[in-house]
């Protein structure tokens, strides 16, 4: 029986946060009653620099309910960084931490299964979605495409696992040793290597409020995931370069032979097309190289990932 911290990043979540705590409290109470978690267990709400009244609500919840802790980041640093901030704070007090979203899309009724697996000695338990009925068709397709691309590029991720996950303190200590600034937790956690298990659940609709992950953020998240974990795109550029080089030698031979045979080469269409095509390929390749240089740039600066403004705990 250990101390559990539920780490919940919140960004402009005033519409859901009270309801979330309301729903979680009886579940934690029940786990305490069954002596599956220690009395000192807490819900840790991380305010990721919200611009609405989220933090005021967290303060009020903390006043009313000693099981609720609050961590306020000075700035909006994004879901992954907020989660990291919460986990690193929780690590100081907990035996295990479960991360979940504020909108209760992840089924909180399987929490007990997470705890049972932890109590049985597992260090990392992944929550895996059975189906994605609640997501829009578009989100479902893009997400599945993303997992496929990741797999193809050789990044080990857990299929259909978002950041609903239990980690033991030992695993959190290991996580703290990964210093990268471009955080992609779903890629890092499998690298830790301690014993793992899975819990399956159905993901439901967002309880209230809007998704904080519009297409723009999803794309940049996917880009981060790929470029932070795989250098295969760089390799693919070299391979493409070699292939195109070989092809152009063939083309040169063909041109020479047709010249010698006196066949007039007519038409600028082919030339123009190839210029555009090659121009496009080159630009794309330069872009990919640029992505990695951008990554290196932010890693070498090694700026802090987040800054804690206030921590409330009773």
Rg (CA), the chain: 25
Beta carbon nearer to ligand UDP, 211 or 248? 211
Q: How far apart are CA 279 and CA 34, in angstroms?
A: 66
Number of residues engaging Mg ion in binding (CB under 5 A): 4
Binding-residue pattern over the window 178 to 207 for ligand UDP, x denoting contact by CB under 6 A: ----------------------------x-
Number of residues engaging ligand UDP in binding (CB under 6 A): 17
Question: Judged by CB under 6 A, does residue 79 bind ligand UDP?
Answer: yes
Give the shortest CB-79-to-Mg ion separation in angstroms: 10
Tell me which residues in 188-207 interact with Mg ion (CB under 5 A).
206
Give the shortest CB-206-to-Mg ion separation in angstroms: 5
Out of 14, 47, 95, 103, the only residue in the binding site for Mg ion (CB under 5 A) is 103
Alpha helix stretches (DSSP H) within 108-231: 111-119, 137-152, 169-176, 185-192, 215-229
Q: 214: which 2 tokens?
A: 């519009």
Beta carbon nearer to ligand UDP, 49 or 124? 49
* Owner of token pair 């206030």: 310
**What sign for the dihedral angle of Cα 304, 8, 218, 13?**
negative
Give the shortest CB-212-to-Mg ion separation in angstroms: 7
Give the shortest CB-240-to-ligand UDP separation in angstroms: 33
Q: How far apart are CA 67 and CA 5, in angstroms?
A: 10
Residue from 227, 117, 209, 206 nearest 162 by CA:
206
Question: Judged by CB under 6 A, does residue 82 bind ligand UDP?
Answer: yes
Find the helix or strand (DSSP H, E) in which 256 lies: helix 232-260
Beta carbon nearer to Mg ion, 211 or 238? 211
Beta carbon nearer to ligand UDP, 118 or 164? 164
Beta carbon nearer to Mg ion, 170 or 206? 206
Q: How far apart are CA 192 and CA 124, in angstroms?
A: 9
Tell me which residues in 84-113 interact with ligand UDP (CB under 6 A).
101-103, 105
Give the shortest CB-172-to-ligand UDP separation in angstroms: 18
Question: Judged by CB under 6 A, does residue 13 bind ligand UDP?
Answer: yes
Out of 6, 10, 24, 90, the only residue in the binding site for ligand UDP (CB under 6 A) is 10
Out of 11, 67, 114, 118, the only residue in the binding site for ligand UDP (CB under 6 A) is 11
Question: Judged by CB under 6 A, does residue 24 bind ligand UDP?
Answer: no
Tally of CB atoms within 10 A around 294? 13
Residue from 96, 107, 125, 100 nearest 37 by CA:
96
Tell me which residues in 62-101 interact with Mg ion (CB under 5 A).
101
Establish how many alpha carbons lie within 13 A of residue 231's alpha carbon, considering only the half-sphere containing its beta carbon: 5
Q: Do residues 149 and 232 touch, judged by C-beta distance below 8 A?
A: no
DSSP-assigned states of every residue in 149-166: HHHHTT----TT--S-EE
Q: How far apart are CA 214 and CA 244, in angstroms?
A: 37
Q: Do residues 78 and 181 touch, judged by C-beta distance below 8 A?
A: no
Give the shortest CB-88-to-Mg ion separation in angstroms: 22
Q: Which residues bind ligand UDP (CB under 6 A)?
A: 9-11, 13, 48, 76, 78-79, 82, 101-103, 105, 206, 211-213
Q: Which residues bind Mg ion (CB under 5 A)?
A: 101, 103, 105, 206
């Amino acid at each position: 029986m250990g101390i559990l911290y539920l780490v919940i990043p919140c960004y402009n979540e005033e519409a859901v946060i009270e309801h979330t705590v309301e729903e979680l409290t009886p579940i934690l109470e029940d786990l305490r009653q069954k002596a599956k978690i220690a009395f000192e267990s807490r819900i840790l709400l991380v305010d990721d620099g919200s611009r609405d009244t989220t933090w005021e609500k967290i303060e009020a919840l903390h006043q009313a309910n000693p099981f609720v802790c609050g961590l306020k980041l000075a700035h909006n640093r994004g879901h992954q960084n907020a989660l990291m901030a919460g986990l690193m704070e929780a690590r100081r007090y907990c035996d295990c931490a479960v991360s979940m979203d504020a909108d209760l899309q992840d089924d909180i009724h399987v929490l007990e299964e997470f705890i049972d697996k932890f109590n049985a000695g597992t260090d990392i338990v992944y929550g895996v979605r059975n189906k994605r009925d609640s997501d829009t068709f578009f989100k479902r397709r893009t997400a599945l495409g993303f997992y496929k691309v990741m797999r193809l590029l050789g990044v080990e991720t857990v299929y259909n696992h978002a950041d609903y996950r239990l980690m033991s303190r030992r695993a959190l200590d290991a996580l703290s040793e990964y210093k990268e600034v471009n955080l992609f937790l779903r890629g890092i956690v499998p690298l830790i290597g301690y014993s793992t298990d899975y819990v399956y659940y159905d993901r439901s609709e967002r309880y209230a409020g809007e998704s904080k992950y519009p297409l723009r953020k999803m794309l940049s998240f996917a880009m981060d995931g790929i470029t932070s974990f795989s250098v295969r795109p760089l390799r693919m550029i070299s391979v493409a370069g070699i292939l195109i080089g070989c092809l152009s030698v063939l083309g040169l031979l063909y041109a020479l032979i047709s010249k010698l045979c006196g066949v007039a080469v007519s038409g600028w269409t082919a030339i123009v097309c190839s210029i555009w095509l090659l121009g496009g390929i080159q630009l794309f390749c330069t872009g990919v190289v640029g992505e990695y240089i951008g990554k290196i740039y932010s890693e070498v600066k090694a700026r802090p990932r987040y800054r804690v403004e206030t921590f409330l705990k009773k």
